Structure 1
């Protein structure tokens, strides 16, 4: 049985797309005959990320990470994040048989939104990090083209899936809100551009599900919006199902798993025409992409029932797990000159 070690700086109790992607990947690699080991901050003492205390950074040493990798003795090493553990694992893996990476987060844009650091400097770091690997897995074709234009190479597609048994339209509504309900689910942080949604003049109600550093401030400034905080499982699925339109104001997400969860709940998506929504919604009719987000949100109200749900059925986690493993194995195959 091949063994895969996944190194990630993002792990429980965080709730975000990276963590959920890894959790679903692990669940569906087992039936493919792959043994998975996780190296995460849970094994080390941690400190909060300045300005974002929900994220904990591992205080690991090069020796500790190298020793942990040797103990695991994996056939393949997948580095999911560019944080402290990712950097130390990269260093150790270069002395072994290499590694693969995945591009989950627009790190340069996220940092530049908080601190006066040029994106060009951060992209130089990201290129150096990812180009040293055997391949870098990206979620969409549009993201691959974008990163290739910035000097990244050895890019392979690893899409995402959705649990259509959990996320479905027939959950009873947990809240009584005036219709239509315009819904957003995600991390409440500046890089998610949530105020572009909250500031829209829309009928009915606005419902926001999620936690993050901006939550308290936005609750105070938008008292007419219903903020539920972070939810999961059936409780989250029921909140999705009560939405009439899912509004996705982010311009920086690499994919947007919440889009798939909304579609599976038969909630059409209103978003900007950017990477992620362009790939998931495209010309499927399951949403409206427009630089005028209010116009997109209102147009979604006319989308017939069942169209969004039908689009979600094209995204399967078993197929995504197979796609991931095929790319990793192929990248480790002997290549001329390597």
Structure 2
């Protein structure tokens, strides 16, 4: 079975979309699925305004058409709503090929935070983009319900997993990073949509650590000189950093899941977050973390949570189960797409026969 995945989010970007696709691809390979990636790495690109770390592809329609044809896909998944996603969507519709999509990020909110575009316009675009596919995958039940209220249908669940071998509890140092405990840590993209001041402004005991990079890092580091900004960490170094935290703080209100929440839990670190989509879907055990509209209260409550409970909760998420869910959705999207196209052709033929009959009567 050959699957082609089209994504505007890919290396060298460091984010949940890239990690989710990477881990899914690894599981798909174990399942015997051959995956071809269509990514910005193969085309000229330009930096995204206000966020230069993200590159916007400048591929032409004919180059994307050639890439899609050369991959000879049995199944097609379009992961993002960006330039590559748009061109792949256009090609699939032109060729009469079914495909699935996924809603990884709150695209409307992210754009609205950077440009004066009404949310209603942006959600209209999202509906237009995803309705053409046979299925649109979302990470959580709460996000599914939310998008349904915005009249986005055809939604299917695609959860996430965690590498519990890489991310696991480790012995803690008495003064990690040379800072006094307790350590309150957040990990991820340092950007406006992550709502980091909601965490950095809190009056908390001990120390605050931010692991990651992004367009807001220099400004935030200047505004909060008592906070340690470590930059990006990967692999074992990232897992070791997580394990040193006493509480993992997730201040974002715009994420659709929160892979870093799972990574922290797998390292035995209790989570503090707002009770919003993502955290409310993951932190189901009050012994593993605290959710509260008052983030300071959540942070202090999380200090009393169990590291063993945090680890146990993370172990309920697996990439093998999530990838099977993903593949089932892609296959279902193909079946549904074929049915939809057959109905469309029947309607078109009927309309053509009626037009011919009326012309003959004249």
Show the counterpart of 2:131.
Answer: 131
Secondary structure at the counterpart of residue 231 of structure 2 = coil
C-alpha offsets along residues 123-155 of structure 1, whole Å, 9 cap, x if unaligned? 000000001100001000000011111011111
Secondary structure at the counterpart of residue 178 of structure 2 = coil
Show the counterpart of 2:163.
Answer: 163
CA distance, structure 1, for counterparts of residue 235 and residue 285 of structure 2:
30
CA distance, structure 2, for counterparts of residue 177 and residue 319 of structure 1:
39
Select the residue among 317, 320, 335 that pairs with 1:318.
Answer: 320
CA distance, structure 1, for counterparts of residue 137 and residue 287 of structure 2:
27
Deviation at 1:177, TM superposition (A): 1.7
CA distance, structure 1, for counterparts of residue 178 and residue 239 of structure 2:
16
CA distance, structure 1, for counterparts of residue 10 and residue 333 of structure 2:
25
C-alpha offsets along residues 191-223 of structure 1, whole Å, 9 cap, x if unaligned? 100010000000000010000000000111101
Show the counterpart of 1:236.
Answer: 238
Report how many aligned residue pairs link the two structures.
337
Show the counterpart of 1:304.
Answer: 306
Show the counterpart of 2:273.
Answer: 271
Deviation at 1:316, TM superposition (A): 0.4
Deviation at 1:172, TM superposition (A): 5.6
Secondary structure at the counterpart of residue 151 of structure 2 = coil
CA distance, structure 2, for counterparts of residue 17 and residue 61 of structure 1:
27
**Is 1:33 matched with 2:32?**
yes
Show the counterpart of 2:358.
Answer: none
Secondary structure at the counterpart of residue 175 of structure 1 = helix
Show the counterpart of 1:89.
Answer: 88
CA distance, structure 2, for counterparts of residue 50 and residue 217 of structure 1:
17
CA contact (8 A) 1:284 1:311 kept: no
CA distance, structure 2, for counterparts of residue 129 and residue 8 of structure 1:
14
Deviation at 1:228, TM superposition (A): 0.3
CA distance, structure 2, for counterparts of residue 237 and residue 297 of structure 1:
21
C-alpha offsets along residues 224-282 of structure 1, whole Å, 9 cap, x if unaligned? 00100111001111110000001101000000000000000111110001000010013
**Bigger CA radius of gyration:** 2
Secondary structure at the counterpart of residue 307 of structure 2 = coil
Secondary structure at the counterpart of residue 54 of structure 2 = strand
CA distance, structure 1, for counterparts of residue 334 and residue 132 of structure 2:
13
| TM-score (normalised: structure 2) | 0.91
Which runs of structure 2 are paired with 1:6-21 in the superposition (5 Å)? 6-21=5-20
C-alpha offsets along residues 95-147 of structure 1, whole Å, 9 cap, x if unaligned? 23121100001011111111111111000000000011000010000000111
Deviation at 1:304, TM superposition (A): 2.3
| TM-score (normalised: structure 1) | 0.97
Show the counterpart of 2:119.
Answer: 119
CA contact (8 A) 1:6 1:37 kept: yes
Deviation at 1:331, TM superposition (A): 2.0
Q: Which has the higher mean CA deviation after the structures are superposed, 98-107 or 174-183?
A: 174-183
CA distance, structure 2, for counterparts of residue 293 and residue 284 of structure 1:
15
Q: Unpaired segments of 5 or more residues in structure 1?
A: none
Show the counterpart of 2:347.
Answer: none
CA contact (8 A) 1:171 1:238 kept: no
CA distance, structure 2, for counterparts of residue 86 and residue 134 of structure 1:
15
